[in-house]
Structure 1
Amino acid sequence: MTQQDSRYYPYRTVSRRLLLQLTAALLIASLVASGTKAWAQEKLAGTGEVVVYSYGGSFTERVRQLVYEPFTKATGIRVVDVTADLAEPQIKAMTRAGRIDWDVVFVGAGNYPELHEAGMFMPIDYSFWDNEALKGVPEYARLTDAVLGYQNATMLIYDERAFPSGGPESWADFWNVQKFPGPRGLDASLGYRSMLFALMADGVAHKDLWPLTDDKIDHALKKLDHIKPHISKWWSAGSEPIQLLINREYSLTSAFDGRTLTALRQGARIRMVWEGAVIGENYWTVLKGGPNSANAQKFIAFVNRAQIAAAFTQAAGYPGPNTNQLKYLPGDLVPLISISPDNAAKAARVDFAWFAAKRADGKTNADHIQERWLAWRAQ
């Protein structure tokens, strides 16, 4: 998997409860659009179109309903959405061909440094932003040529039915097979997350996780040796851990927050544990040389306004960075997302700049960590 794990956001079956929630979200989007229309007409009005890359499927369908269509109604700029599994190979191919067909693109944080250094993105024009958005979006999320689009978390999830007297509350509990017995799951693909979980299970503080040096990798793999016999299945697709929990083939596992949120809203008896969640990031970028750059800047400004950010969060299941959106979200949703202050304080962020940096041998730190992981998994 890549840092864009969150593109796999499924709605394979739609329950009556979920239909009601979608209807409520659409109503909120209508109110949001009317509440921001005057601002957008004054500041962002335009003509023509903007070409926006997204992941397709239900992700794009819902974002189109709750974000793209309100943007068009408020500004007069039509959104043309294009989809692909991954943006990065397409960006490189367009650059080599000397023809950039897209304007706005999601880029995973692990891939951003390489494309940034190659000069593929335009600077973000923050003059289009209102003061509310500038105050609500933290400085770390506002880069020179990218803006945090949304963040996703990989976290501990458990089946409430397996632990009626109270479930695990940390990764240390995940490793405690005596107190919390039952089949377990971890991600088979990207190893750094399981390494971080292992370090936190052994008491390493969030601030000391990075850089993930060889001694810390050794430490993590030794800790993983203890839990390896208790992993009944190493999952590789984002839908697997939730389905295996629902089927009672897992009692506890790592899983993605967006997948979990979907299942919770469909009535699944599972619970999120935010302590030790690992936060991944995906950026909005404006491609240099795109056909509608001015409209792209207006689009970026629009989606980062608090009310629109709230609509995006409800559409995608993953929150954008503007914390002012919390007051526009349903009260029952706020405790389930990563930008809730209580959850944010318990989560660990990935140092993607170090992750993507080159080692003396020419490999990235990410490549080195993954090689160590695959070798350990093969033992």
Structure 2
Amino acid sequence: MHVKSTLILSTALAGMAFPATAQEVNVVSWGGAYEKSQVEAYNKPFAEETGVKVNMIAADNPATPLKAQVEAGNVTGDVFDIEVSDAIRLCDEGALVEIDPASLPAAPDGTAATEDFVDGALLDCAVANIVWGTVISYNTTKFEGDAPTSAVDFFDTETFPGKRGLPKNPKRTLYLALIADGVAAADVYDELGSDEGVERAFAKLDTIKDDVVWWEAGAQPVQLLADGEVSMTTVYNGRIFDAMVAEGQPFEVIWDGQYMDMDMFVIPKGAPNPEAAMDYLKFATDTQRLADQAKYIAYGPARKSSADLVGLYQDGETEMAPHMPTSPEALENAVMDDPEFWADHDAELSERFNAWLAAS
């Protein structure tokens, strides 16, 4: 499958220069199934190709040790996997190495990396590897007859009865209320940037407030569905995929109103193995490696050229393409996270959201 593309990539990689100045590289990521996907898709082939050992270090949020190490002047990590907002902030603070996008590998057909990565995936100091989403999921055993299909249905507790699970934060809650109220995904931030739009979002949330079970950790919504405490919830797409496919839970995903975000690789200033770190970053974000990662977890590659190379899940049976947050269906009415918007509005919207939660 995809032999031609794979051969082109292998040839391109064979021509890349990997300096032998470092015998190891320290990569700090998030642990769990996500870390496993990176070990299999990136670390093992990189070590085989270069002879450089990859040490994987897990952190609850890799941006935290990165910042602490830079401030202490004692940097031990070489590559960190962090969220977009942290990448922007740390770059602005001068903690990260700038990355020339022209130095990144081209797509197999020669398309430059600057044209091949999805919008927002290349920053001054960061390169995205995955796109992930917050989606709606429901328990199929809770509904007889017609099943829910949209964000509108999530807010329709009369037609589709049962409790709803929502995260206890404004970023991944207010947008969904607006979409359910008829706002196009492309217009969500314009609405949230206005007093009228904020009022509109809270008015829509009011309609289900008494039926909401609030969650704060990523494992909670899956458990809420499994325990029957809610009939529908928003949830991270990778976690619900694992529940559906790996565990056989009777859940389905609704892509309408998906909230998308990315994870990014960065290199801190003062990294102990800077050349090996840059080699690893380039290797791990080429077309084939990003496609390979999708064999282990349902997160979308950050490069367009990776899409056609996404194959089967590690079970050898499940086609991964339909489960990608970057699939055509998933992108139809998706909202991409806007770190700059939230840098400007997070404090005020969080204050308003918390006051709304506390009100009877």
TM-score, scaled to structure 2: 0.87
- Distance in 2, matches of 1:191 and 1:253, equals 15
| Residues 45, 76 of structure 1: 8 Å contact kept | no
1:42 equivalent among 7, 12, 15: 15
Secondary structure of the equivalent of 2:33? helix
Query: Does 2:272 align with 1:297?
Result: no
1:248 equivalent among 223, 228, 238: 228
- 1:128 deviates by 4.0
Q: How does 1:216-255 map to 2 (within 5 A)?
A: 216-231=197-212, 233-255=213-235
* Per-residue Cα deviation, 1:50-88 (whole angstroms, up to 9, x for no partner): 211111233323421332011111122221222211222
State the partner residue of 2:158: 178
State how many pairs are aligned: 341
Query: Would the alpha carbon gap of residues 284 and 352 (structure 1) be closer, same or farther in structure 2, given more than 3 Å must change?
Result: same
Gap regions ≥5 residues in structure 2: 313-318
- Distance in 1, matches of 2:103 and 2:353, equals 44
| Residues 19, 275 of structure 2: 8 Å contact kept | no
Q: How does 1:260-279 map to 2 (within 5 A)?
A: 260-266=240-246, 267-279=248-260
Query: Would the alpha carbon gap of residues 200 and 139 (structure 1) be closer, same or farther in structure 2, given more than 3 Å must change?
Result: closer
State the partner residue of 1:55: 30
1:141 equivalent among 117, 121, 134: 121
| Residues 41, 293 of structure 2: 8 Å contact kept | yes
State the partner residue of 2:149: 169
The one-letter code matched in structure 1 to 2:16 is K
- Distance in 2, matches of 1:164 and 1:304, equals 44
Secondary structure of the equivalent of 2:269? coil
1:129 equivalent among 98, 101, 104: 104
- Distance in 2, matches of 1:259 and 1:320, equals 17
* Per-residue Cα deviation, 1:327-352 (whole angstroms, up to 9, x for no partner): 22226211111111231222111211
- Distance in 2, matches of 1:269 and 1:109, equals 33
| Residues 278, 347 of structure 1: 8 Å contact kept | yes
Deviating more after overlay: 170-179 vs 86-95: 86-95
| Residues 53, 105 of structure 1: 8 Å contact kept | yes
| Residues 126, 301 of structure 1: 8 Å contact kept | no
Q: How does 1:74-153 map to 2 (within 5 A)?
A: 74-132=49-107, 134=113, 135-153=115-133
* Per-residue Cα deviation, 1:220-272 (whole angstroms, up to 9, x for no partner): 112111101122x2122211222222232221111110111101212222111
- 1:292 deviates by 1.6
User: Structure 1 or 2: larger helix share?
Assistant: 1
Gap regions ≥5 residues in structure 1: 1-27, 358-364
State the partner residue of 1:200: 179
Secondary structure of the equivalent of 1:140? coil
Secondary structure of the equivalent of 1:53? strand
Query: Does 2:351 align with 1:371?
Result: yes
- Distance in 2, matches of 1:205 and 1:224, equals 17
The one-letter code matched in structure 1 to 2:230 is Y
- 1:113 deviates by 2.6
- Distance in 2, matches of 1:166 and 1:35, equals 47
1:325 equivalent among 286, 306, 327: 306
Secondary structure of the equivalent of 1:100? coil
| Residues 106, 286 of structure 2: 8 Å contact kept | no
Query: Would the alpha carbon gap of residues 265 and 374 (structure 1) be closer, same or farther in structure 2, given more than 3 Å must change?
Result: same
Secondary structure of the equivalent of 2:264? strand
* Per-residue Cα deviation, 1:163-196 (whole angstroms, up to 9, x for no partner): 24332222111111121112221112x2221111
The one-letter code matched in structure 2 to 1:108 is E
Secondary structure of the equivalent of 1:237? coil
Query: Does 2:258 align with 1:283?
Result: no
Q: Which runs of 4+ in 1 moved over 6 A?
A: 31-35
The one-letter code matched in structure 1 to 2:57 is V
State the partner residue of 1:25: none
* Per-residue Cα deviation, 1:106-161 (whole angstroms, up to 9, x for no partner): 22122233212111111214344332071431353122211122222111111122
- Distance in 2, matches of 1:314 and 1:367, equals 38
- Distance in 2, matches of 1:148 and 1:80, equals 20
State the partner residue of 1:7: none
Query: Would the alpha carbon gap of residues 56 and 33 (structure 1) be closer, same or farther in structure 2, given more than 3 Å must change?
Result: farther
Query: Would the alpha carbon gap of residues 263 and 295 (structure 1) be closer, same or farther in structure 2, given more than 3 Å must change?
Result: same
Deviating more after overlay: 195-204 vs 110-119: 110-119
- 1:33 deviates by 8.7
Deviating more after overlay: 119-128 vs 33-42: 33-42
| Residues 152, 258 of structure 1: 8 Å contact kept | yes
State the partner residue of 2:335: 348
State the partner residue of 2:316: none
| Residues 111, 356 of structure 1: 8 Å contact kept | no
Over the matched positions of the two proteins, sequence identity in percent amounts to 28
The one-letter code matched in structure 1 to 2:302 is P
- Distance in 2, matches of 1:32 and 1:74, equals 18
- Distance in 1, matches of 2:220 and 2:70, equals 36
Query: Would the alpha carbon gap of residues 122 and 200 (structure 1) be closer, same or farther in structure 2, given more than 3 Å must change?
Result: same
